[in-house]
A and B are shown apart, each in its own frame.
Chain A
Amino acid sequence: MGNAVEAVTLPNPTEIATPLFIVLVVAEMLFVRFAGRGHYEMRDTATSLVMGFGSVLSGALFAFLFIAFARELAPHRITDLGWSWPVFLAAFLIDDLTYYWWHRASHRIRWLWADHVQHHSSQHYNLSTALRQPLTGAFTPGLFFRAPMILLGFPLPMIAFVHGVNLVYQFWIHTEAIGKFPGWFEAVMNTPSHHRVHHATNARYLDSNYAGIFIIWDRMFGTFVAEDAKDAPRYGIVKNLASYNPVRVAFHEWIGIVNDIRHAPSLRDALLYLVAPPGWSPDGSRETSDSIKRRWNEYRAARVAGE
């Protein structure tokens, strides 16, 4: 490998993996049909697949934003790490750490959630859900999470490639067909079991397991929750959508933000509607994941005290 930053052309991992995605979705459908483990619903599947397609189009349409952002930052990088296997490995790890923080922020900041919620909007959890990708990432500040890797001097094609590999890895963990792996694997890697917890709306599971490839980040930063066989995950979002229309799925939270900001009692509240956690409201009348957890904990504590 040479040292020229732009010299190496790498393939797009997602494009390469697309035929495999289709084969695996078919295999999972057959497994669910004949083994009875998991669920598929036709219109839910159609919505997920159409959104996956729309996300690819939207990504292509707004790719210039990443390119412009990266070109703007590149001259300010502190060094040029060049191309070597150790750098590749470091890029892979740092990208996964960056993904963890972007993902965590996407659940805690409504502006980012407006985009990410689209991925969580299905009440099903199968491989088609993995393809239910957001259409509106270009309208969020998510791009800024890429800045550290650019400033550290990783080549731009390498950043794009390892990020693509990260997304491809996450495809197969969207399934109920696989139970749990041996302990060492569950300890280090993100698995279907860990990610089922992430997609669940059960109070105890909310805002947990943000990992992309390595679950170690959740263990390190205190957001890991193990799947409990006695509390089967219920998938979707706290206020599930009553529509399969991809346009409604894509824009419902954005519409909510605009409406809230229009009626905000002050400028501060308008800003908080954008950057506070989803469900925040000035008078606290709505529910956030924190308030839901608190309510359930109080209820459980009262039940235990009453026994």
Chain B
Amino acid sequence: MSILYLAGSLGGIALLVALNFVLFGRARPDVGSVDEIAKRLAREVPGFRAGRSIVSIDGRAALIENAANRTLFLVEALGDGIVTRQISRDLLSSVGRLGERLSLELRDFTFPRAIIQAPSDGQAREWEMRLKP
């Protein structure tokens, strides 16, 4: 394997990523509306029905309850998609709140933290109480 091959490969990667940006831009992370999240979760979780929910005001994350069994799901936007996790005692390491800002620390190597900017201080407090064991 020559230096030329390696340099050419790196140059090729840079050009392809640049072309990707020119053609498609950069996706703004957005979890979407509660309805959209619920539709997505219903495809992943048998019998999922949306219950109570909170969507971060920056649209980057959300918490949504499965009304069918009261389990709770964390949703975070990643690129043009979303990533979901069912909240469990094993997964949730700690919950913190600073005013309207709710922060969840997870025991997950690729998903260590989620921030939810609640619409009000009261809502953030309510979800904090709900999440704390």
Contact = CB atoms under 8 A, between A and B. Distances in A.
B1 A46 contact: no
Contacts of A123: 78-79, 81
Interface in B1-23: 1, 5-6, 9-10, 12-13, 16-17, 19-21, 23
Interface string A117-156: 0000001100010000000000000000000000000000
A56 B16 contact: no
Interface residues of A, number: 48
A57 B25 CA distance: 30
18 contacts: A29-B16, A29-B20, A33-B24, A40-B20, A41-B80, A42-B20, A42-B79, A43-B26, A49-B13, A60-B1, A128-B16, A234-B44, A236-B81, A240-B78, A240-B83, A244-B79, A255-B109, A296-B46
A242 B76 contact: yes
Contact of B16 (A26, A239, A251, A256): A26
B96 to A, nearest CB: 19
Q: Is the interface of A mostly helix, strand, loop or mixed?
A: helix
Contacts of A243: 78, 110-111
Interface in B107-126: 108-111
Nearest to A234: B43
Nearest to A303: B47
Interface of A: 15, 18, 22, 25-26, 29-30, 32-33, 39-46, 49-50, 53, 56-57, 60, 123-124, 128, 201-202, 234, 236, 239-245, 248-249, 251-252, 255-256, 285, 295-296, 298-299
Interface of B: 1, 5-6, 9-10, 12-13, 16-17, 19-21, 23-27, 43-44, 46-47, 76, 78-81, 83-85, 90, 108-111
A247 to B, nearest CB: 10
Contacts of B81: 41, 123-124, 236, 240
A252 B42 CA distance: 26
B10 A53 contact: yes
B17 to A, nearest CB: 5
B17 A45 contact: yes
B91 to A, nearest CB: 10
